[in-house]
Amino acid sequence: MAQSGIKVAAECVTAYEELKSKKAFRFILFKISDDGKEIVVDETGKEDDWDVFREKLISSKSKDKRGKEGVGARYAVYDFHHTSGEGIVQEKPGLLSWIPDDAGVFVKMTYAGSKEALKMALPGLAADIQASATEDLEYEGSVRPKVFKRL
């Protein structure tokens, strides 16, 4: 259990299984529910374009403890694809947590203190990326080398 005591809603595991087995989505965004009790699915997406995904993270909003909306944080599972020189396609679902430095301390604390719960609920994740600035969301410059380390 993560230190915040926040739980993972069953729908998160279901969505993750669908992404893995049925390739139903390219990515899933998770957030902490407004009542602060559990991590829930915020949105799923099928777009292959990394920038669509990136943009969703950057524009996300979260509420502070008084319910005021501000700079947001999210967790995401992204189905990373890589095609090698010989045309072999590799697919790996990886976890990405987006907790930007300019989010409020309440949002940072609750998201950082709850990440473990999600990670433990989703078996078989191939990567765990901690992004806190937009440069960490550059696919070629930052993300890909972390997911496909040995390529």
Partner 1 sequence: MAVPNANTAPLSEYAGDEVSALVLDPGWSTTRAGFAGEDAPKSVIPTHYGVSSSDSRLFFGENAIHSPQANLQIKNPWSADGIVEDWDTAAKLWEYSITSRLTGPKPTHPEKNGLNDDPNGEAMELDAQEEVEKPLTENPLLMTEPGWNPVKAREKYIEIAMEDWGVPAYWLGRSGVLAAFAAGKASALVVDVGANITSVTPVVDGIMMKKGVQKSPLAGNFVSNQIRAMFKQNQVPLTPHYMVSSKTAVDAGAPSQATYKKFETAPPASYRRLQEERVLTEFKESVVQCWTGPGKLSNGTNEEIAKSQPPRPFEMPDGWNQVFGLDRFKVTEGLFDETAALEDDENAKPTKAQTIPAMIQAALNQVDVDQRPHLLNNVVVTGASSFLPGFNDRLNAELQGMYPSPRIRLSAPGNTIERKYASWIGGSILGSLGSFHQMWISKKEYDEHGANIVEKRCK
**Which positions from 41 to 60 touch partner 1 by CB under 8 A, shown as an x/- string?**
--------------------
Give me the residue label for tokens 């997406």.
45
Question: Phi/psi of residue 47, each to 5°?
Answer: -65, 135
Residues 127-146 within binding reach of partner 1 (CB under 8 A): 128, 130, 132
DSSP 37: S
* Of 26 and 115, CB closest to partner 1: 115
Provide the minimum distance between the beta carbon of 116 and partner 1 in the complex, in angstroms, as a whole number: 5
Spatial CA neighbour of 100 closest among 72, 67, 129: 72
User: Which H or E element spans position 31?
Assistant: strand 27-32
97 sits near partner 1 (criterion: CB under 8 A): yes
77 sits near partner 1 (criterion: CB under 8 A): no
Q: Three-state SS for 66?
A: coil
User: Which H or E element spans position 119?
Assistant: helix 115-121
Provide the minimum distance between the beta carbon of 78 and partner 1 in the complex, in angstroms, as a whole number: 18
99 sits near partner 1 (criterion: CB under 8 A): yes
* Of 26 and 95, CB closest to partner 1: 95
65 sits near partner 1 (criterion: CB under 8 A): yes
Spatial CA neighbour of 116 closest among 39, 23, 10, 19: 39
Positions touching partner 1 (CB under 8 A) are 1-7, 35-38, 65, 73, 97, 99-101, 103, 105-113, 115-116, 119, 128, 130, 132
